[in-house]
Structure 1
Amino acid sequence: MDIAVVGLGYWGPNLLRNLYELPGCDRLVACDLDESKLNKIKSRYPVVEVTTQFQQVLDDDGIDAVIIATPVSFHYPLAKQALQAGKHVFVEKPFTSSRREGENLIALAEQAQRKIMVGHTFEYSPPVLKIKELIEKGELGELFYISSSRVNLGLHQKDVSVIWDLAPHDFSSIFYWLGEQPVRVSAMGRDFVQPGIPDVAFVNLEFASGCIANVQLSWLAPSKLRRTTIVGANKMLVYDDTENIEKVKIYDKGVDYKDPETFGEYHLSYRSGDVLSPRLDSFEPLSKEMDHFITCCQEGTVPKTDGANGLRVVKALEAAEYSMNHNGIVVNVDSLD
């Protein structure tokens, strides 16, 4: 396949590197308005073609697919043009700036009979895949709640809140694990550093299954945390993405309730057993993701993280942002349609 990568800021070069190393990618074109970024790519990958003109990418009939790694405000217009030009499209997270834009891109892709895929890379990572496997096997039992922290000192964004910047990672993983999107969302946040751009947020998610989740997000924290706790009826799990080796740990801990048979009988017993760290596969998630995109385009299969997958995250982001801007009210996700 011949593929163009549009946007060479923070993430674009990583996408390009992985595509360059995949046998399924025959020709690569890099596109960015900044010529200095193109020069860096050209010096590192001499065979990669470069251009500052997106229209040139659209007019090139040899290019089969376009990878969009620009700021989110450009996702919709660029993806729309690429689909209208008959290209398959991969869009980095978050999918679009609004659910309406996401719905329009999904419809356009169907009309053009082209694939559209969203860059929820964590859904291709060994720890997240292992956790999904454990949940489906019933290892944790009925899931009670999920608590996640994604905080660091920076990097502050100029165009989006901390919710739109950081929450897509956790939302996509949580929705993937549970196999559902939230029905209700609420959020509180503050703009402590840049007026009008919240840098700290606490998001609550409620699911139809009864599971609840809390996601803490911050650009204003003393240390980097990437930690998720999943509590089930049988066992508990901690996923720490900052760990080098044992990223996932399963705790045989819990509380057993027994109906009292006599007055005054203590009816709670606490269980504390072994702590196990399952073996994880070793591969680069981004390479797996890019290879999956190429395969879907070539074979006509539906991407794991397709437009609908990206849209459910955007809906939750919109609901969280709306709640945060309206004093933390509880928002029914579908009510914003």
Structure 2
Amino acid sequence: MVLIPDPLAQLKLLHTPPLLKVAVIGAGYWGPNLARNFKTSPAWELCAIVDMDVERAAKVATPLGDVPVFATLAELLAGTEVDAVAIATPARTHFAVAMAAIAAGRHVVVEKPLAATWEQGVAMLESAEASGVVLMADHTYCYTPAALKIRELIAEDALGEILFIDSVRINLGLIQPDVDVFWDLAPHDLSVIDFILPGGLRPEAVAAQGADPLGTGKACVGHLTFALPNNAMAHINVNWLSPTKIRQMVIGGSKRTLVWDDLNPQQRISVYDRGVNFEKASTSAAQRKAQAVSYRLGDTWSPALPEQEALALMVQEFADSIQQGRQSRTGGMAGLRVLSVLEAASRSLALGGEQSTVAGYDIQLEGTR
């Protein structure tokens, strides 16, 4: 019996890009999650785990098929060919590790926040652009099916003009040793706002209020507010001390209001056709006050969402951006926008809640929005 090759199958093989080789740097809390998703991704070959504690690295590597372990990035680069690295080390080390990888011509994805300071983030972006490599922020929540759906609904004007965004991210612990509650929890909310709004996260100033009732030396409870376009407002509540865990974002629009409850797997998104009907007028203040306000009470619906792990979608987006030679949907610029708000929040907190100017956006990278 003579087997005749299938021309379509052969053509598919010819156009299938080779696996990208990646190393995960950091075997602490987030590193094992990254390693597992890179291992199971059809686009990647997990080649190494890097951690100063090689025993901890080995505990991550062994269940994944005895992946090689290294103590430092220098040892990895000297002993293994990799296309990219995923950095899951403490935030204070992101800059040094990323810059070394970029200098070696490797693509880089960095756990939030992108860096410890705005200046470091700028240097990382400029170095990646000069080296022709992809720099991506691991804003995992942006790849949840819920966030992707919200982005889609806003893009198609299903909610109308955004009037407010109110986000609550509270739980009991874990009190971090090196950052306050803003730097620990708020990046998730800020990155999602940056992802879902067509213009991205671009406030001119922010105001932050925080409290440290336990005397830890850092804010454990915090509120962050800033203006959105068209006189809208965003508010983020973060808290390490709450006995209940809440992960909720409310996005109010002129047409509909959306509630994302991340802890409700049966109904993560609810869209309410309820709100205030108030026609804006460019007349005098007295005339505006005289305008009638009415309320609408319509239906509520919940869009069906696929059950997909956000980190797996992030890992695939990293591969796609490398293979297609483009900036990722949460590229370095997105990471820098979030970083600039965090820095402004820290300044505001030090000033007792006064508004603090957010650093400008004067870096133009090809393919970024």
TM range (shorter): over 0.9
Aligned with 1:214 (options 227, 235, 238): 235
2:316 aligned with 1:291, yes or no? yes
Q: Does 1:69 align with 2:94?
A: no
Q: CA deviation at 1:335?
A: 7.0
Indicate how the Cα distance of structure 1 residues 326 and 10 shifts in structure 2: closer, same or farther if over 3 A, else same: same
Distance 2:264 2:103 in 1: 43
The answer as to whether partners of 2:38 and 2:46 remain within 8 angstroms in 1 is no
Q: Is the 8 A contact 1:163 1:217 kept in 2?
A: yes
Q: Distance in 1 between the 2:229 and 2:205 partners?
A: 9
Tell me what 2:296 maps to. 271
Superposition map of 1:41-56 within 5 A: 41-56=60-75
Give the AA of the match of 2:239: S
1:47 shift after superposition: 3.6
Structure 1 Cα separation of the partners of residues 119 and 261 of structure 2: 34
Cα distance 1:196–1:246, how it changes in 2: closer, same or farther (>3 A)?
A: same
Contact 1:59 1:85 in 2 (8 A): no
Correspondence list, 1:280-319, <5 A? 280-319=305-344
Match of 2:47 in 1: 28
Tell me if structure 2 keeps the 8 A contact 1:118–1:305: yes
Name the CA distance, whole Å, in 2 between partners of 1:67 and 1:85.
14
CA drift of 1:58 comes to 2.6
Post-superposition Cα deviations, 1:270-329, rounded to whole Å, max 9, x if no partner, equal 211111001112211101111111222233222111111100000000011110111101
Residue from 152, 162, 165 that aligns with 2:171: 152
- Residue 46 of structure 1 deviates from its aligned partner by 2.5
In structure 1, runs of 5+ residues without a counterpart are 260-264
Match of 1:321 among 341, 346, 366: 346
> In structure 1, how many angstroms separate the alpha carbons of the residues matched to 2:318 and 2:163?
34
Cα distance between partner residues in 2 of 1:140 and 1:56: 51
- Partner amino acid, structure 1, of 2:222: A
Amino acid corresponding to residue 273 of structure 1 in structure 2: G
Contact 1:5 1:68 in 2 (8 A): yes
Give the aligned partner of residue 100 of structure 1.
Answer: 119
Matches within 5 A, 1:97-176: 97-176=116-195
Identity of aligned residues (%): 38
Q: Unaligned stretches of 5+ in structure 2?
A: 1-19, 282-289, 363-369
- Residue deviations 1:99-157, cap 9 Å, x none? 10000001111111111111001111110111111111111111110101000000100
Deviation at 1:336, TM superposition (A): 11
Higher mean displacement: 27-36 or 306-315:
27-36
| Letter of the structure 1 residue corresponding to residue 224 of structure 2 | V
- SS of 1:245's equivalent in the other structure is coil
Q: Distance in 1 between matches of 2:111 and 2:278?
A: 45
* Deviation, structure 1 residue 71: 0.7
What SS class does the counterpart of residue 334 from structure 1 fall into?
coil
Shift in alpha-carbon separation, 1:208–1:234, aligned structure 2, 3 A: closer
Contact 2:195 2:330 (8 Å CA) reproduced: no
Letter in 1 for 2:196: W
The CA distance in 2 between the partners of 1:104 and 1:335, in whole Å, is 15
Partners of 1:141 and 1:25 in 2: CA distance = 39
Q: Find the residue that maps to 2:296 and give its secondary structure.
A: strand
Report if the CA contact (8 A) 2:208-2:345 is conserved.
yes
Shift of 1:91: 0.6
- For 2:359, what is the secondary structure of its paired residue? helix
Q: Is residue 2:216 matched to residue 1:191?
A: no
TM-score after normalising by structure 1:
0.94
2:248 to 227, 230, 233: 227
SS in 1 for 2:271: strand
Contact 1:246 / 1:277 at 8 angstroms: preserved in 2?
yes
Instruction: Find the aligned partners of 2:166 and 2:208 in 1 and give their Cα distance.
Output: 14
Q: Does the 8 Å contact 1:158/1:197 carry over to 2?
A: no
Q: What is the alpha-carbon distance in structure 2 between the residues aligned to residue 68 and residue 186 of structure 1?
A: 30
1:200 lines up with 2:221 in the alignment: yes
Distance in structure 2 (CA, Å) of the matches to 1:277 and 1:27 = 38
Give SS of 1:317's match: helix
**Total equivalences in the alignment:** 332
- Partner of residue 7, structure 1: 26
Change (3 A) 1:256 1:297: closer
| Larger-Rg structure | 2
Cα gap change, 1:215 to 1:76, in 2 (>3 Å): same
- Correspondence 1:247 to 2:272: no
